[in-house]
Structures are given as C-alpha cells and as structure tokens.
Amino acid sequence: MTNSNKRVVVTGASSGIGRATAVALANEGWKVVALARREERLRDLVAELGADACEPIVCDVTDDASVQGAVERILAGGQVKALINCAGGAIGQDRIAQCNVEDWRKMYDINVLGTLRITQKLLPALEVAPGGGTVVVISSVAGIEAYEGGAGYCAAKSAERVFAQTLRFEEVGKPLRVIDVSPGMVATEEFSLNRFHGDQAKADAVYAGVPNPLTAEDIAECIRWALDQPDTVDVDSLVVRPRAQASAQRVYHR
C-alpha cells in the first residue's frame, strides 16, 4: 500500500543505485516518481513495482526544458516529500595532463548542474510537505578524497557535497533536511562501463579480485534508513565503503 504523504522523486532511477532505491522505497510504501532518460528501463521498473507505486517520467537532467517539463508533471501529480538526486556518473579516468575538457564539462553538467536544476525547482514543494521535506544528494567518497585520474569526477562530486552543505546552511529554520550520501566502490552494471566509454574489460577490472564491493541495494538501504528517521532528524552525511576499501586509492584486491 502506498501512502499519499510519502511521495519521493528519484533521479537516475533506470539503473544501479537509483533503481535499487526506487525499489527499496516503493517496498516501504513510498510512491516513487522515477526519472531517467531511458523510457524502456523506466517501463520495466513500473512493471516490477506496479503503476500505483511508481510513476515514470523521462527526463534529461542536463536539459533545462526537460527538467522544467518533468517538474510540472511532478507538481501536477501532488505533493512531494523527498527528492533523491542519484543521476550522475564518471566519464573517463585520464590524468590532468591528458584529460579531455569535454568529459569534465559533461560530468559537471550531469552531477552538479543536474542536481541544481531539479532541486531548485522542487524546493518550494518540498518545504510545504507535511512534516517537512528531504533532499538527498548521492555524491561519493571521490568528493572527499582525490585519486590519480579522478580529478574531473572528484571535483564534480566534491561540488555536490558542497551543494548539500550550503543548502543546509541556507534553508536552516525551514522544514527541510539535506542528506549527503557518499558511497565508496559500488559494483553497479553501468557505472564503470560508462566511465570507460563502453569498454567492458576495463570496467570489469575495477572490481576484479575485490571481495564484496558494495551493491546498489546496500546504498539503497542507507538512503531508506536515513529517510525513515523522524522528520526532525537530519542524517547530515553518510560515508559508506566496502570493507575492502580503506580509501579511494587503497583497495584490497585478492
């Protein structure tokens, strides 16, 4: 049974952490508005969760008009209690001496500006949700620790963490929680594949020999738990790594 007070928007809901979060929250009675660019994948999600629990909206978070259209549909559908900013990812892993400016531009646009575009437009609705609203930002340990070849992604994820901190400052006193979730290595199907421009061997090598990287479901459970705290309890920041990862640079491989 969905609860009409618990309506949550999840960006990046077509795969990986966003999809797992949509499933975890729907199973807890949340009505999920699932956003991503790939309509077919969103349809699969609706088929799994049921049309009562999940409403799909095709949206490209790098496109102002697309986000505006999605927000209008979201608001027309009722109140919004929470927003999970999960759309994002890494492009390339080249050192600063060789990296591509365009890759950096895309990473900033998806991760940082994408989060800004939709959060800014949903803030008024979140702040009038009964009991208050919640913004969750999925940044990364990459936003805390730099690593070789990671500068563009680390800078974007660091900007997302700063976004969350600043929003918390700016909205203090209003009924809004801002939660940053910073995952370490999560073995999702597409994250590394996208990072390495579709090179499956390079993507597989990231996780090869690493005992039990995190799963998308592990992070979804953290998000579910943080959201389920009382409205007045703001889980400021959650840093979650697999046991085999001491830092971005220090990963145990068998």
Ligand X SMILES: NC(=O)c1ccc[n+]([C@@H]2O[C@H](COP(=O)([O-])OP(=O)(O)OC[C@H]3O[C@@H](n4cnc5c(N)ncnc54)[C@H](OP(=O)(O)O)[C@@H]3O)[C@@H](O)[C@H]2O)c1
Tokens in use for 31? Answer: 């009505």
153 is catalytic: yes
For ligand X, the closer of residues 9 and 126 by Cβ is 9
- The residue from 3, 27, 38, 50 that contacts ligand X (CB under 6 A) is 38
Task: Pick the binder of ligand X from 127, 190, 228, 236 (CB under 6 A).
Answer: 190
- Residue 15 is a binding residue for ligand X (CB under 6 A): yes
CB 164 within 8 A of CB 178: yes
- Give min distance, CB of 79 to ligand X, in A: 23
| Residue whose CB is less far from ligand X, 43 or 95 | 43
Query: Could you tell me the two tokens for 109?
Result: 């646009």
Q: Which of 147, 153, 207, 252 is catalytic?
A: 153
Select 16 or 92, whichever has its Cβ closest to ligand X. Answer: 16
Interface with ligand X by CB under 6 A: which range of 1-9, 80-88, 95-103, 196-204?
A: 80-88
Among residue numbers 94 through 123, which ones bind ligand X (CB under 6 A)? 110-111
Of residues 190, 168, 192, 107, the one with CA closest to residue 143: 107
What residues are annotated to the active site?
Answer: 153
Chain positions contacting ligand X, by CB under 6 A: 11-12, 14-18, 36-38, 41, 59-62, 86-89, 110-111, 138, 140, 183, 185-186, 188, 190-191, 194, 216
